[in-house]
Each structure stands twice: as C-alpha cells, then as structure tokens.
C-alpha cells in the first residue's frame, strides 16, 4: 500500500493504492489520515461559508485572548500549590 502526493503540489489529488493484503478498510483509514494531514477537511469547512475579513479578524483576536487567559490560569494554579 503506497500513498503519495504527486510532486508535492498542493493542488494535486491525494491517492491511496489499495493493497489486497491490507484491505479496503485500512486503505480508507490511510486516506482519511492523509486528508487530515494535508488540511483538506479544514479547508472544506473554511470554504463552506464566506466570512468578511472584519469578522475573521474579530474571531482571531477572541481566540488569541481565550488562549492567553487559559495559559494565565494554568500558571496561576500551579504557583499556588
């Protein structure tokens, strides 16, 4: 079973050769892992709906603030013990 992305081109198709010894289920799992690794599912979800650049920026800053608060809480908890 060999899986490859042709010439490292981001627009080429992901392909998985199905080996009779390994089985279809295993090849399907390999395909799903490759889709996740190449970001196919993430890109699909991102393109499902259009977001204005201002909304993207707002979501990005909110996520960063949430990460900062989470990190700060983690360090304050460990220092009290």
DSSP 19-59: PTTT-HHHHHHHHHHHHHHHTHHHHHHHHSS---HHHHHHH
> Residue 7, Cα to own-chain centre: how many angstroms?
21
Q: Does residue 77 have a pLDDT over 90?
A: no
* pLDDT one-digit tens code per residue, 20-51: 888 888 989 999 999 999 999 999 998 999 99
Q: CA of 26: how far to CAs of 3, 10, 17, 35, in Å?
A: 12, 24, 11, 14
55-78 mean pLDDT? 92
Euclidean distance between CA atoms 1 and 21, whole angstroms? 9
Residue 16 tokens, joined: 């998985």
pLDDT of the residue at 19: 81
Residue 11 is classified by DSSP as T
What is the pTM assigned to this prediction? 0.50
pLDDT band at 18 (very low <50, low <70, confident <90, very high): confident
């Amino acid at each position: 079973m060999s899986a490859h992305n042709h010439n490292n081109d981001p627009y080429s198709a992901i392909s998985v050769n199905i080996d009779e010894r390994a089985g279809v289920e295993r090849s399907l799992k390999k395909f799903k892992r490759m889709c996740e690794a190449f970001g196919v599912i993430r890109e699909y979800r991102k393109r499902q709906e259009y977001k204005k650049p201002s909304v993207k920026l707002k979501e990005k800053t909110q996520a960063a603030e949430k990460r900062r608060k989470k990190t700060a809480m983690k360090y304050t908890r460990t220092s009290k013990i």
